[in-house]
Amino acid sequence: MIINVKVNPNKKEQSINEQEGCYIINLTSPAETSPAEDNKANIELIKMLAEHFNTNQMNIRIKHGKNSRKKLVEIVE
Protein backbone atom coordinates (compact mmCIF):
# COMPACT_ATOMS: atom_id res chain seq x y z
CA MET A 1 0.00 0.00 0.00
CA ILE A 2 1.27 3.47 -0.85
CA ILE A 3 0.04 6.48 1.10
CA ASN A 4 0.51 10.23 0.93
CA VAL A 5 1.74 11.78 4.17
CA LYS A 6 2.01 15.39 5.29
CA VAL A 7 4.15 16.01 8.38
CA ASN A 8 3.39 18.90 10.73
CA PRO A 9 6.29 19.53 13.15
CA ASN A 10 6.32 21.23 16.55
CA LYS A 11 2.84 20.20 17.67
CA LYS A 12 1.81 19.79 21.30
CA GLU A 13 0.66 16.19 20.79
CA GLN A 14 1.62 13.51 18.30
CA SER A 15 -1.27 12.27 16.20
CA ILE A 16 -2.24 10.66 12.90
CA ASN A 17 -5.35 11.81 11.04
CA GLU A 18 -6.66 10.90 7.62
CA GLN A 19 -8.14 13.64 5.45
CA GLU A 20 -9.13 13.23 1.81
CA GLY A 21 -6.79 10.30 1.18
CA CYS A 22 -3.78 11.92 2.86
CA TYR A 23 -2.45 11.11 6.31
CA ILE A 24 -1.67 14.17 8.43
CA ILE A 25 1.08 13.38 10.97
CA ASN A 26 1.68 15.75 13.87
CA LEU A 27 5.13 15.42 15.44
CA THR A 28 6.19 16.98 18.72
CA SER A 29 9.88 17.08 17.85
CA PRO A 30 11.30 20.04 15.94
CA ALA A 31 13.54 17.70 13.95
CA GLU A 32 11.49 18.08 10.77
CA THR A 33 12.22 21.83 10.56
CA SER A 34 15.93 21.53 11.20
CA PRO A 35 18.39 20.18 8.62
CA ALA A 36 18.12 16.44 8.06
CA GLU A 37 20.03 15.60 11.22
CA ASP A 38 20.47 11.85 11.61
CA ASN A 39 17.06 11.33 9.96
CA LYS A 40 15.32 11.83 13.36
CA ALA A 41 11.96 13.05 12.06
CA ASN A 42 11.71 10.27 9.47
CA ILE A 43 12.54 7.65 12.11
CA GLU A 44 9.83 9.04 14.38
CA LEU A 45 7.39 9.08 11.46
CA ILE A 46 8.11 5.42 10.65
CA LYS A 47 7.62 4.45 14.32
CA MET A 48 4.24 6.20 14.41
CA LEU A 49 3.07 4.64 11.14
CA ALA A 50 4.20 1.16 12.23
CA GLU A 51 2.18 1.48 15.42
CA HIS A 52 -0.84 2.91 13.58
CA PHE A 53 -0.89 0.13 10.95
CA ASN A 54 0.15 -2.65 13.38
CA THR A 55 3.20 -3.64 11.37
CA ASN A 56 6.95 -3.85 11.79
CA GLN A 57 9.03 -0.72 11.14
CA MET A 58 10.98 -2.70 8.54
CA ASN A 59 7.79 -2.88 6.43
CA ILE A 60 7.62 0.91 6.03
CA ARG A 61 9.72 2.83 3.52
CA ILE A 62 9.72 6.47 2.48
CA LYS A 63 9.72 6.35 -1.32
CA HIS A 64 9.73 10.08 -1.98
CA GLY A 65 10.17 13.27 0.05
CA LYS A 66 12.70 12.26 2.69
CA ASN A 67 13.68 15.90 3.16
CA SER A 68 10.20 17.34 2.68
CA ARG A 69 7.05 17.65 4.76
CA LYS A 70 5.08 15.92 2.00
CA LYS A 71 6.09 12.29 1.59
CA LEU A 72 5.09 9.20 -0.33
CA VAL A 73 5.31 6.17 1.97
CA GLU A 74 5.11 2.48 1.07
CA ILE A 75 3.76 0.01 3.62
CA VAL A 76 4.40 -3.65 2.84
CA GLU A 77 1.93 -6.00 4.49
pLDDT value of residue 4: 96
In this structure, the dihedral spanned by the alpha carbons of residues 68, 20, 56 and 27, taken in order and rounded to 10 degrees, is: 50
Q: How does the average pLDDT of the chain come out, rounded?
A: 87
pTM for the full predicted model: 0.83
**Total domain count, the chain:** 1
Q: In this structure, are residues 43 and 60 in contact, taking their beta carbons and an 8 Å threshold?
A: no
Look at residue 57 and give its three-state secondary structure. helix
54-75: average pLDDT: 95
CATH number at residue 68: 3.30.1200.10
pLDDT value of residue 10: 78
Look at residue 70 and give its three-state secondary structure. strand
Give the domain extent around 31.
Answer: 2-73
pLDDT digits (tens, 9 = 90+) for 14-40: 899 999 889 999 988 655 445 556 688
